């Protein structure tokens, strides 16, 4: 059964200069159960303050029906020149800094406040939530939650909070008239590259962080969800952001790669796959911040209690399968102490997973793995001695999801921990499947060192959870692990909203952050030291050659 909102984004293209409050109602008329795509949505590029079409367009299939419902720019390398020249025109000192155009800090604070006000309107919130659902199908609460996190971010940086991001420090000098001042300094021309799974939140938070610190960003998003970012930009313009402040290029990764090579941005933020991240690091000579693959672990401690079982089971289900597992913070592997297994947590997880269905999009299309690829990976894991299928492992049925995308039941494969740690098994067991899939293993008190060995051998360190109220156990695991965003306590999870805390990996000097003032300063500014030395001039008697 398809969700009731399935319809087409109607291309009643309005003038780009119309206020967003008039524009969005014309952009996305959602007709329940209407799947006719006679009027596909049309996405445009933005460069140097002007919306542009391209010579070629790409038609994209509806993730739920397979019918073409969106036309996006297929920007060719031959059309990259305007984006390259736009970035090259930005000085290294940025669009603004502590000495140049400081009024822009105030302007961007005002823009943030206005955007937050717009996003508080029920009709605007619903518009973005439905738009997210159309291109990256997830349940309405999950899609609306993305809007809420984004809105709170804009609320956090309204008013004077943007200028406070650029706060520095000073130290006394060696003599009268000398002080040293540490300043946060922009990079100038920068790039923001974001994935499909959070088409509003990630672009919004990283774009605004880049702008706040004085940079001019070029945004590149996954073509499949590009309409969400386009609509965000139109909202920003409506709320007072100058149109030349951000460029927006929709097209193949090869075109974006060519732009980066030719324009040589001073910094690039990439969120996405590890393979592309490493290529970018090489192409930019290391001028990158990365939030790449997230094979995220959760450890259930020894202090299992019957009264905690319903909540912990529910959180495991949410972490592994909300958004069909397409979160970089999704629970990829569960280390369950045998006390939790004896209580029945695996049976509870199976029961909760069985309630997920297409009708409410609590499970849905997987946009980066095919059904065949996910089932093939499942079968490979089941060849490991002692492995077993806990639940799932089947393709979804009675749907019209196109074959280019994946559609499987929420799946969990159990692998004995000693088998998992074997060199020939570990790389397979820790392969990130960006879909509703997880590996589960069990350990005893004597096998805690094996758990820590597994955590040490993992190569990606984004999020993690230690579910326990045993402070000694928590400190032992935390003290011997790395992940940059780690939750601990009986309510610990792997997925969480980054508007109220740092979100990003650890253990890699290229690791990016998102959401907080500290993250913005780290990714989008560098340190500059300015030493004031105004005198008085010393007497000539002490001016000796040394």
Which residues participate in catalysis according to the annotation? 291, 328
Angle at CA of residue 322, ends 321 and 327, nearest 5°:
90
Specify whether the backbone of 140 is left (phi greater than 0), alpha (psi in -120 to 50) or beta: alpha
CA distance 113 to 116: 5
Q: Are 503 and 485 in contact (CB under 8 A)?
A: yes
* Residue 278 in tokens: 């490493």
The number of CA neighbours under 13 Å toward the Cβ of 328 is 30
DSSP states along 219-262: EEE-GGGHHHHHHHHHHHHHTT--GGG-EE--S-HHHHHHHHHH
C-alpha torsion angle, residues 130, 136, 138, 140 (rounded to 10): -10
- The conformation of residue 511, written as its DSSP 8-state character, comes to B
CA distance 75 to 79: 6
CA distance 186 to 207: 13
Helix (H) or strand (E) holding 166: none
β-strands 178-185, 189-194 pairing: unpaired
DSSP states along 281-330: HHHTTT-EEEE----EEEEE-S---GGGHHHHHHHHHHHHHGGGG--TT-
- The conformation of residue 408, written as its DSSP 8-state character, comes to B
Q: Helix, strand or coil for residue 137?
A: coil
Helix (H) or strand (E) holding 41: strand 41-42
């Amino acid at each position: 059964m398809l969700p009731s909102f399935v319809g087409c984004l109607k291309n009643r293209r309005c003038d780009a200069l119309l206020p967003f409050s008039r524009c969005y109602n014309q952009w996305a008329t959602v007709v329940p159960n209407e799947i006719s795509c006679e009027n596909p949505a049309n996405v445009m590029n933005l460069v140097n303050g002007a919306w542009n079409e391209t010579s070629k367009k790409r038609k994209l299939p509806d993730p739920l029906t397979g019918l073409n419902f969106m036309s996006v720019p297929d920007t060719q390398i031959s059309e990259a020149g305007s984006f390259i020249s736009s970035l090259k025109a930005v000085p290294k000192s940025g669009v603004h800094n502590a000495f140049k155009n400081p009024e822009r800090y105030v302007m961007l604070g005002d823009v943030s406040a206005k955007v937050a006000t717009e996003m508080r309107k029920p009709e605007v919130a619903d518009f973005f939530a439905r738009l997210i659902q159309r291109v990256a199908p997830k349940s309405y609460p999950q899609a609306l939650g993305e809007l809420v996190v984004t809105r709170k971010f804009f609320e956090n940086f309204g008013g004077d909070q943007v200028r406070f991001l650029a706060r520095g420090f000073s130290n006394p000098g060696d003599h009268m008239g000398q002080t040293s001042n540490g300043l946060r300094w922009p990079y100038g021309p920068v790039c923001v590259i974001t994935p499909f799974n959070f088409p509003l939140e990630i672009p919004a938070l990283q774009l605004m962080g880049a702008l706040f610190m004085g940079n001019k960003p070029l945004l590149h998003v996954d073509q499949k969800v590009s309409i969400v970012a386009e609509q965000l930009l139109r909202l920003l313009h409506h709320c007072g952001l100058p149109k030349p402040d951000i460029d927006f290029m929709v097209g193949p990764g090869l075109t974006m790669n060519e732009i980066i090579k030719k324009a040589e941005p001073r910094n690039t933020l990439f969120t996405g796959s590890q393979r592309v991240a490493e290529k970018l690091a090489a192409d930019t000579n290391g001028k990158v911040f990365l939030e790449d693959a997230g094979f995220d672990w959760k450890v259930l401690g020894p202090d299992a209690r019957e009264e905690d079982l319903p909540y912990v089971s529910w959180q495991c289900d949410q972490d592994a399968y909300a958004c069909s597992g397409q979160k970089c913070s999704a629970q990829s592997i569960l280390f369950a102490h045998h006390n939790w297994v004896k209580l029945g947590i695996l049976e509870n997880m199976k029961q909760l997973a069985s309630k997920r269905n297409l009708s409410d999009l609590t499970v849905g299309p997987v946009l980066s793995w095919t059904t065949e690829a996910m089932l093939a990976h499942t079968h490979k894991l089941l060849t490991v001695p002692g492995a077993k299928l806990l639940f799932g492992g089947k393709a979804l049925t009675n749907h019209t999801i196109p074959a280019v995308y994946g559609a499987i039941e929420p799946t969990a494969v159990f692998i004995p921990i000693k088998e998992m740690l074997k060199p020939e098994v570990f790389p397979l067991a820790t392969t990130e499947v960006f879909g509703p899939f997880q590996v589960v293993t069990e350990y005893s008190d004597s096998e805690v060192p094996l758990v820590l060995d597994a955590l040490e051998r993992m190569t990606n360190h984004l999020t993690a959870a230690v579910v326990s109220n045993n402070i000694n156990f928590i400190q032992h695991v935390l003290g011997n692990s790395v992940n940059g965003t780690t939750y601990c306590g009986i309510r610990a999870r792997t997925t969480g909203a980054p508007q109220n805390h740092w979100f990003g990996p650890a253990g890699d000097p290229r690791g990016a952050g998102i959401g907080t003032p500290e993250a913005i300063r780290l990714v989008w500014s560098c340190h500059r030291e300015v030493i004031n030395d105004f005198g008085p001039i010393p007497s000539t008697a002490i001016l000796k050659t040394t």
